[in-house]
Amino acid sequence: MVDFLIKIAVIALYTTIAMLVGILFMGIGRKIVARVHNRVGPPVYQGFIDIAKLLTKKTNISHGWIYDLALLFSLTGIILTILFLPIGGVKLLGTEGDAFLVLYLLAIPALGFALGAGASGNPNAAIGVMRALVMMLSYELPFVITMIALMIYYDTSSIAQIVELQRARWAIMIPPFMLAAAVADMALQGMLMEAPFDIPTAPHEIASGPMAEFGGKHLGSLMLYKAGTIVAYTTLFVDLFLGGGVVMHDGSILSYIVNFAVWFLLILLIFTLSLLINASFPRFRIEQAFKFYWKYEALLAFISLIWVYLMVIS
């Protein structure tokens, strides 16, 4: 019973920290993009102010109960995804085969978001949702192929175990996975909806797409969801290719803190890379993005898969 309560407390702690890190990253991201534009930029805690402002708005327009609940749906989905990903090597809910589970869970928040946007009834939102679903279809093919390559190499389908097996050297140091990591990083760009793949939420074309009708508290919870996605996707990448940020293995309190700090630095690195690409490229059209993922990315991912397979059988 006590173990159970401790587990719940740890899960609550980690979820809160992950969300806070996500909100902080939104501010850091705006700061980085501002520096690229040669501006001063907002303070790094701007994300907290924005969410506080949105959650303290006096009026909120609702477009029916689907609109209200879909946001909770996507927020819950993203928190559940974070729980299945090892953060700094700490496994919260992971079990055997959770790599497949995470792939399914990653679709839930996006679908919840689509549901809410669809319920708002705005034509721009409908276009945005359609684009978001096409984007999901596009980036998941190369990403799944790289995940399969990892699963073949490490002979497991548990993310925690993949992290564990990268103790000696990170996956990105093995030649085929360098290629796979490059492919997965571009897929990550699409997942985070950063340019050149910010097609679903293009503010100048379709008035921020699915978010067009969201305001007040609804937009606030949407920003919480966005903060969660930043942490979830970058953590997934770090867990798969960069050993989850685990550098100390002795299980002492210090090792937890050090691993957590390294995890934070690594996801910040991955997020910064994604933002630098975002700040320097214009937007693809949806069919260009689709072609990019299914033609070039999928081909490269497939080459890395065959390479890994040849390494394993020889």
Subset of 177-196 contacting another protein (CB under 8 A): none
Instruction: Rank residues 59 and 314 by Cβ distance to another protein and give the closer one.
Output: 59
Nearer to another protein, 206 or 231 (CB): 206
Q: Closest distance between another protein and the C-beta of residue 93, in Å?
A: 34
Minimum Å gap between C-beta 133 and another protein is 20
Determine if 34 is a binding residue for another protein (CB under 8 A).
Answer: yes
234 near another protein, judged by CB under 8 A: no
Q: Using CB under 8 A as the criterion, what x/- string covers residues 36-75 for binding another protein?
A: -xxxxxxx--x--xx-xx--xxxxxx--------------
| Among the listed residues 213, 239, 263, 292, the single contact to another protein using CB under 8 A | 213
Minimum CB distance to another protein smaller for 54 or for 179: 54
Between 125 and 186, whose beta carbon lies closer to another protein? 125
By CB under 8 A, residue 198 contacts another protein: no
Could you tell me how many residues of this chain bind another protein (CB under 8 A)?
Answer: 31
How far is the C-alpha of 62 from the C-alpha of 80, rounded, in Å?
25
Residue placing its CB nearer to another protein in the complex, 19 or 298:
19
- Which residues lie near another protein (CB under 8 A)? 30, 34, 37-43, 46, 49-50, 52-53, 56-61, 203-204, 207-208, 211-216, 219
